[in-house]
Amino acid sequence: MSRERVSPQYGDGTRVVAAGQPPAVAGEPFRPGPVFAAPYHLGPDTRFYARNENPTWSAFEQALGALEGGPAVVFPSGMAAASAVLQSVLRPGDRVVVPSDGYYQVRGVLAEELPWYEVVTVPTAEVAGWAGEGGLAGATLVLVETPSNPGLDVCDLAAVTAAAQAAGCLVAVDNTMATPLGQRPLDFGVDFSLASDTKALTGHSDLVLGHVACRDAERAARLLAWRTRTGVVPGPFEVWLAHRSLGTLDLRLHRQATNARALAEALSGHPAIGGLRYPWLAEDPAHDLATAQMLRPSGVVVFDLADEAAVDAFLAASRLALAATSFGGLHTTVDRRARWGDAVAPGFVRVSCGVEDTADLVADFVAAADSLGSRP
């Protein structure tokens, strides 16, 4: 099945297996190995130097473009992807709007490395209403993250995009938690869909990567030029690993979401746990918007334990939870987010559900929670 034959009408499982596949050639592998080269033999085509182009990147970018619905550019990390959008769009003095409750490093890079922009921060749950009341007047770019990391609030993309277009403002969406199988921001008229592919998209906790998909080819070309000039390029082996991992994305997301829902239902109301959020529970404040806007649920649940000591005790009592940051991998991880500077309670944890057997995972977490007793 060639790249050109990957129909958007196929199901998710078929699309992630087929996306970016070369035409079948007898005696050749399903997918060529990574291309390691700096210069190339000069000839009639445009490929001449590895900072400009690599066939391993191109195959993965074609796969991402097929899933996102617009041309994609791969970067060596999610932060590199976010930085590329910011720096390729903004000029000194421009106003940029970012979530006050999103990934903290985005605010950090703007404050410490790019201080010549005017930065406005707005909570994810409030940005749509704020934008609709004229908040984007004078802004060049609004970056939203939905669901937000780590709080799992959801932003109304249709409302933000409509307000941004009326104000002449570009829109970028951090789609890391959802992946293009869970949400397609470009379908809402968003200009940039970016992600840390380190997380759920590749899902094996063995590489660092990111990408940006664009609504139009001109903006993608600008990102390509920025990548080439700055030299912020990924390694071919990491990109090959990412493409290799993409084929199981549908399967992984399904099991992770199944586990997340089961955990959320089992732990909701537990006396040791407070503040549980999972937008696909009917009682969650983001439920209606998440189920209307997103294509499938995610594998992340958040909740509060009493304090840092309670988190340590929970992890000690669990046999399956691993203490680790990042999310979206095969293993279930627990991350106490206050250690990284997020504005959350000391016992706030983000649980990234892996692909373990659902019954085993639920039993393990309930037992660990039971060992804590009740919250003081």
Is 10 a known active-site residue?
no
Active-site residue, from 15, 184, 199, 219 = 199
Q: CA–CA distance from 84 to each of 97, 197, 231 (Å)?
A: 16, 15, 11
Is 174 a known active-site residue?
yes
Instruction: Tell me how far the alpha carbon of residue 152 is from its chain's centroid.
Output: 12
Residue whose pair of structure tokens reads 């390029």 in the numeric block: 233
What single-letter amino acid sits at 183?
Q
Q: Are strands 72-75 and 210-214 parallel, antiparallel or unpaired?
A: antiparallel
Backbone angle region of 75, left / alpha / beta, with phi > 0 → left and psi within -120 to 50 → alpha: beta
Active-site residue, from 174, 191, 335, 342 = 174
Is 51 a known active-site residue?
yes
Active-site residue, from 3, 31, 47, 51 = 51
> Quick one: tokens of 357?
């057997």
Assess contact for 183 and 203: CB atoms under 8 A: no
Give the chain's largest Cα–Cα span: 72
> Quick one: tokens of 143?
């970056």
Closest CA to 79 of 199, 245, 188, 251: 199
Report the alpha-carbon distance of residue 360 to residue 368 in Å, rounded: 12
Q: Where are the alpha helices (DSSP H) in 6-69?
A: 12-18, 55-68
Long-range contacts formed by 33-38: CB under 8 A, 24+ apart: 33/240, 34/236, 34/237, 34/239, 34/240, 35/236, 36/236, 36/237
What single-letter amino acid sits at 102?
G
- Return the DSSP state at 41: -
- Which residues have a Cβ under 8 Å from the Cβ of 73 and sit 6 or more positions away? 61, 84, 211, 212, 213, 214, 220, 223, 224, 227
Is 199 a known active-site residue?
yes
Active-site residue, from 103, 153, 342, 364 = 103
Q: Are strands 333-336 and 348-352 parallel, antiparallel or unpaired?
A: antiparallel
Please identify every residue annotated as catalytic.
51, 103, 174, 199
